[in-house]
Every structure is written in C-alpha cells, then in structure tokens.
Amino acid sequence: MTTVSSSLIPDLAAIVGTQYVIWKPEDLLVYEYDGSIDKATPQAVVLPRTAEEVAEVVRIANRHGVYIVARGAGTSLSGGAVPLRNSVVIALTRLTELIEVDAENRVAIVEPGMINLQLSQKVSHLGLFYAPDPASQKTCTIGGNVGENAGGPHCLALGVTTNHVLGLEVVLADGSLVWLGAAQRESTGYDLRGAFVGSEGTFGIITKIAVRLLPKPEAIHSMLAAFTTMDAASDTVAEIIAAGMVPSALEMMDRKTIDAVEPFYHPGYPAAAEAVLIVEVDGLIESVEEQTEAVLGICRKHGAMEIREADDEETRAKLWETRKGAIGAYGTIAPTYYLVDGVVPRTKLREVLQQVDQIAAELNVTVANVFHAGDGNIHPAILFNERNPSEVKQAILAGARILEACVAAGGALSGEHGIGIEKQAYMPLVFTEDDLESMSRLRTAFIGEQPDDAPIGVPSLSERFNPGKVFPGGAIHGEAYGISAESFRPTGTSDWQ
C-alpha cells in the first residue's frame, strides 16, 4: 500500500479548496464502490472544477507518487471506478458545462461530468439529440461513457459512444493538456481519439468532449410484444434482422425481469408471458409505417400473445420505463446483482440463452435477463446476497461460465461495460499473449516510460491511471469478499474449478 504523505491533503486543498478534498475514512466510504460488486477505499477524493485544476492535481499526485482514478457518477458495472492500490480519486462531477453547441454542424462540446440525458434535453429545442443512451442515462456521465465506450438500447442502428465522439481534451500522465481528434467531423493522422475511447481511464483523464449530434427523426413508432417463451422472442429478433431491417432499438426482458418491474411500474404484462420484446423504428414517415407493419407481422407469426404500440412521447416513455428501470427493480428479488455483459452472434442468441438457464440451474443461482437483443449484447443479471460468501462465489462462477459460453459461441467478453476488474482474468480466452503485449504498449505510448532514476516505491507510470484494470493479474474479481485467484481458472472449455 502506498504511504500517505502528510502534505498530500494540504497540497490538493491548495488547488481546489479545502471543501473539495475528501479524506476522512467515514466520508471515503461512498467512493469505495461503483455499480459492480468490487470495492476498495481511496486515500483521498478531489473534486476539481476546471481542466487546469485537473492537470494540477495530476502533477501533485505525481510528486507524491500516488495512483490516480478518474470517476464520474460511479455507474460502471465492471469495477472501472473502483480505486485500487490506495489511489487518489479525481471526481469530475463538478465539470458539468455544455460549453458550445454548433447546431449547423451538429457538434457540441461538453465537460465530462455532464449527465448523459441532459445533453439531449439541452439541444432538443434545436431539433437535435445525442444518440448513445445507456440504461443509466439519467445518472451516468458522458465522460464515463467515453471511458467505457458505453452503448444503450438505441445504439443498434446508430452505433455506440465511439461513433459519436469527434475529439477529446485530455490530461496526460505528466499533467499536460492536449486535444485528440478535433471538434469537426474529419481529422487526419492516427486516430488517437479512437484509441482513447474505451480505454477505461488507463490512458489519461478526459476534461472536454466534442460530440456528434443527430437530427431528431421525422417519425418514431414503438412496439411491445409479449411471448409465451424466450425461444419465440429470440426467433422473432432473428427474423426481424434477417428481413433486412435495423430497428433503432430491439430489447428483451425475461419472466424474472417482468416479475421485478411489476411492483414498481405496474405495466400489467400477461401472466403467461415468459418474454417481452420492445422494438422501435424511426425515420421518414413512410419508412416507419412500412417497417412497423413488417415487425408486427413477424411478432404475430411467432405467436405474440399481446402487442402494444406507441407513437407519442408520453406513451413511448411509459412503454420504455420498465426496460430503463429494470436493473434497479431487481432489488425486489435479491439485495445484490452482478450484471454480466457478453456478446453473441444474433444467430446464437437462442442457444446461448438456453446455456445461461442451464448454468443457473447447475449452480443453483437466480439469473434474470434484460438485454440488447438486436446486436446480441446479453446482460444476464445474477441475483444474490452479498452477505453470504458462498452466494458471492457462486455468482462469480456463474458469470465466468456465461462469459465463456459467449466466447465459445463466437462472441466477445464485453459489448459496453468494459473489462475493468471483472473480466481481466478471462482476457486470454479471446486474446493471445502477443495481443495483450501490444495493448500494454499502447498504454505506454500514452503514459510514457518510467524514468531510470525514479525513486523506489513510486508507482510505475505505465499504471499511474486506474491501476489494476483491464490486463490479467491486475486484480481479483470479488477479492473484497474473500475470493482468491485460485478459485477460478479460465480454460477455454466448460471445465472451471
């Protein structure tokens, strides 16, 4: 553990003010967590107000030889905001300004602490919106979305965060402020902006973001279809895509999720429904009408027992509220959830969901499903009680086997939540040692090499930002609950310890 310097807190306070440095143990507790099941206590939390203050805080951290973790709203689901190795947390929740809107060129420049949903609200009067919309968009920050390359229900047709970020102002390891990319749609040279998006806070700290805005579609039509089986809903998804349509959103919820949302939102879904599919199409009026009829026909073909439709904002919001609020509603079933984030080919969706059910039965765990069915980004939610060590271990084991099933089906470890602490042990299932070495060299390219004369005990520059994340061996998923590295061993098969 890094030794806390007696002058660290006063040095930080000299930059941001005493009221914006948190260091008392009882106050640090709320910064131990993000939306994952991992946790660690920082040695201090700093809340700067400007990019220049962020840069100066980084320089001070360098002088004191401490690690740094950038934090937004703390909604990360892979441990991305958990401050390992006694880090100093730089919380960016005071950098919330909409700095500039260029409506003609459909570009906005925002600070990283801006809440995702607020950007669309602020530009709505201009007939524009910001496309990436994570389920947590009422609370998550755009800076955090950039760090994790977040997706969302409406990213099926429009792409995830990286497709909507044009440029970034960032603070590098030496405290310098630089721009990557530009505040226009085209820039030349290497795509350093693209490399930074999704780097999970390991390359530097974002202080400004130039984002792409889109015009609101002429028409939007939302549909909800209830099915008696998950297989029928999965087959409906496959046929919609096979028909050549790419809806703006295509989401699915299973029976356990339906049971969770009913007490909160009272949607009144059919008692016999085992799956609910939400499909949204948008665009020109004629196109929306044509796609709507095609989608409804496919739903009926696969036995939809009830169909609801919405084409005005109020009705659409009501239709969507169960999907957007599903994660929080899981508290009606269990006090803790572990939300797995894996990707499978759409053609394997039905097969992998069946495997998820088998894994849940074999390990005697409760798994609910709510996910982006259109792009195969599944989110099995493993529900358990964190106060029971055996339940924690079973939950992590179930998550590991689900991720392995995704990879075996030709999918990926993450669609939007990132690697963080959660998935780093499983990276060798997808990447070779040479792949991982190349990735680590990219981090070094941003951070720099450790000087030969660096004092003993000073953290390596290569891990100065967000240490212990992404790469195998950096941390142990569930260590805070007594899980050891020997508990699980990825093998590339279904054989887990």
State pLDDT tens for residues 280-302. 999 999 999 999 999 999 999 99
Claim to verify: residue 106 and residue 204 sit in the same structural domain: yes
Examine the domain organization and report whether 71 and 123 are in the same domain: no
pLDDT in tens, 115-130: 999 999 999 999 999 9
Domains identified in the chain, total number:
4
264 and 210, same domain (yes or no) = no
Residue 1 pLDDT class (50, 70, 90 cuts): very low
236 and 158 in one domain? no
Asked whether the predicted pLDDT for residue 493 surpasses 70, the reply is no
Owner of token pair 């905001």: 81
Q: What whole-number distance in Å separates Cα of residue 361 and Cα of residue 123?
A: 47
3-state secondary structure 19-62: HHEECCHHHHHHHCECCCCCECCCCEEECCCCHHHHHHHHHHHH
Residue 273 lies in a domain: yes
**At which of 91, 110, 135 does a domain end?**
91
pLDDT value at residue 6: 76
Residue 187, domain member (yes or no): yes
Taking the C-alpha atoms of residue 248 and residue 280, their distance in angstroms, rounded to an integer, is 6
Listed in sequence order, the residues at least 6 apart from 35 whose beta carbon sits closer than 8 Å to its beta carbon are 74, 75, 76, 77, 136, 339
Label residue 4 exposed, middle or buried (CB < 10 Å: 0-12, 13-18, 19+): middle
Would 378 be classed as within a structural domain?
Answer: yes
pLDDT band at residue 347 under the 50/70/90 scheme:
confident
Q: What is the pLDDT of residue 12?
A: 98
Find all residues with CB under 8 Å of 191, minimum gap 6, and list them: 181
Do 225 and 316 sit in the same domain of this protein?
yes
Secondary structure (3-state) at 129:
strand
Q: How far apart are CA 492 and CA 427, in angstroms?
A: 11
- The reported pLDDT for the residue numbered 187 is 67
Is there a single domain that holds both residue 208 and residue 223? no
211 & 113 share domain? yes
pLDDT exceeds 70 at position 412: yes
Q: With CA atoms as reference, report the closest residue to 299 among 231, 242, 236.
A: 236
- Which CATH number does the domain housing residue 29 bear? 3.30.43.10
Distance, CA of 271 to CA of 248 (rounded, Å)? 28
Q: Which residue in the block uniquely carries the two structure tokens 């006694």?
A: 86
**12-24: b (≥16 Cβ within 10 Å) or e:** bbebbeeebbbbe
Question: How far is the C-alpha of 380 from the C-alpha of 52, rounded, in Å?
Answer: 41
Confidence of residue 42 (pLDDT cuts 50, 70, 90): very high
8 sits in the region (left: phi over 0; alpha: psi -120 to 50; else beta) called alpha
Is the pLDDT at 82 greater than 90? The verdict is: yes
Confidence of residue 495 (pLDDT cuts 50, 70, 90): very low
Shared-domain flag, residues 340 and 318: no
- Given 269, 296, 328, the domain boundary residue is 328
Domain assignment of residue 238, given as a range:
219-328
The pLDDT value given to residue 462: 67
Residues 201 and 144 in one domain: yes
Q: Which of 268, 280, 272, 265 is nearest to 224 (CA)?
A: 280
Domain at 255, CATH number:
3.30.70.3450
**pLDDT greater than 50 at residue 316:** yes
Q: Is residue 435 part of a domain?
A: no
Same domain, 406 and 425: yes
Give me the residue label for tokens 């989608």.
Answer: 295
pLDDT in tens, 204-263: 999 999 999 999 999 999 999 999 999 999 999 999 999 999 999 999 999 999 999 999
Burial tier of 6 (Cβ tally within 10 Å: 0-12, 13-18, 19+) = exposed
On whether residue 175 sits in a domain, the answer given is yes
pLDDT at 484: 74
Sheet holding 177-181, edge to edge: 98-102, 107-110, 205-212, 165-171, 177-181
Q: Flag whether pLDDT at 461 surpasses 90.
A: no
User: Do 382 and 416 belong together in one domain?
Assistant: yes
Helical spans, DSSP H, in 226-345: 230-242, 255-265, 285-301, 313-324, 326-329
Average pLDDT, rounded, for the chain: 92
The verdict on residue 464 lying in a domain is no
Do 244 and 292 belong together in one domain? yes
Asked if residue 446 is part of any domain, the answer here is no
* pLDDT band at 497; cut points 50, 70, 90: very low
CB 232 within 8 A of CB 275: yes
Q: Residue 5 gets which letter from DSSP? A: P
Of the candidates 302, 328, 354, which is a domain's last residue?
328
Count how many Cα atoms sit within 13 Å of the Cα of residue 139 in the half-sphere of its side chain: 11
- Angle at Cα 209 formed by Cα 211 and Cα 196, nearest 5°? 100
Which one of 156-160, 462-466, 491-495 scores highest in mean pLDDT?
Answer: 156-160
Q: Which long-range contacts (CB under 8 A, 24 or more apart) does 114-119 make?
A: 114/141, 114/142, 114/143, 115/73, 115/139, 115/140, 115/141, 115/142, 116/140, 116/141, 116/142, 116/145, 119/211
Q: Over 60: is that where the pLDDT of 449 sits?
A: yes
Question: Given this model, what pLDDT does residue 494 score?
Answer: 40
> Do the domain assignments include residue 497?
no
